[in-house]
Amino acid sequence: MDRKLQDMLKSGFDAPEPVEKRAFIRTLPVQKVSNFKLLCTQARYIRKSAWLLGAVLFIASAVTASAVSESSMWILSALMPLLSLTVISESGRSESCGMAELELSARFNLKTIVLAKLIILGAADFIMLCAASVFAGAGLSASLIYIFCPYILSAAAGLFICRKIRSSSEMYLSAAASFLTAGLEIIFRKDIFSFYLRCGEGESFLIFSLMTAALVYEGVKRIKETEELKWSLE
């Protein structure tokens, strides 16, 4: 078709300017959702496989913790990085499944969904880590070095990978990072045990604090860098 004719047709069929658009939007009913209800809603959309993996690892950790001694805590320590897979897999699920654009334009934008899932699974994992510490009967220093730090390290590494690599391969690389962390816990178990014997609770807490800060940083960056569409009824 001739370009001039195209321009004429385009100018002749331009959509008219909306009349009283804002007034009409304000008449639409808006149902406010509390933060608690939002978390409950998103908890239902977390895959059953993620909950099943968490349950299996929790049972394995509980059984292991009740049987290990102080010198064999590395067995429990090697299980902790695998627990972070639940958080990593669900935080990047929308992008890996090609659903990010759809969720961006939905009632709860993608940034809110990612934050909700991180809070839900993070809280569940924290409870499991505390339970493992209780079952093991470990002190503060042993719990931080052998239980919390491996989990935090693998979770931070997974969030970093998901933030830098936005493709379907991010989940595989995050899983590889978790298994690598578990493998290092096994390979260097004697060195970690020697370090644990040398350091006190203050040094253990310092390492735990630094790793926690790195995890929080990666989590905040992950949420901030999640693209968001402007969708508001106000």
Tell me the pTM.
0.74
Residue 167's pLDDT band, with cuts at 50, 70 and 90, is low
List pLDDT tens digits, range 125-160.
899 888 888 888 777 888 888 889 999 999 999 888
What is the predicted pLDDT for the residue at 231?
A: 40
Q: Which of 160, 158, 163 is nearest to 87 (CA)?
A: 158
Q: What is the dihedral of CA 118, 145, 205, 55, to 10 degrees?
A: 30
What is the predicted pLDDT for the residue at 98?
A: 56
List pLDDT tens digits, range 23-43.
777 776 666 767 788 788 788
List pLDDT tens digits, range 80-130.
888 888 888 777 665 555 555 555 555 666 677 778 888 888 898 899 888
What is the predicted pLDDT for the residue at 214?
A: 93
Taking all residues of the chain, what is their mean pLDDT, rounded to a whole number?
A: 79
List pLDDT tens digits, range 202-216.
888 899 999 999 999
Residue 230's pLDDT band, with cuts at 50, 70 and 90, is very low
The answer for residues whose C-beta is within 8 angstroms of residue 110's C-beta and 6 or more apart is 94, 100, 103, 104, 226, 227, 228
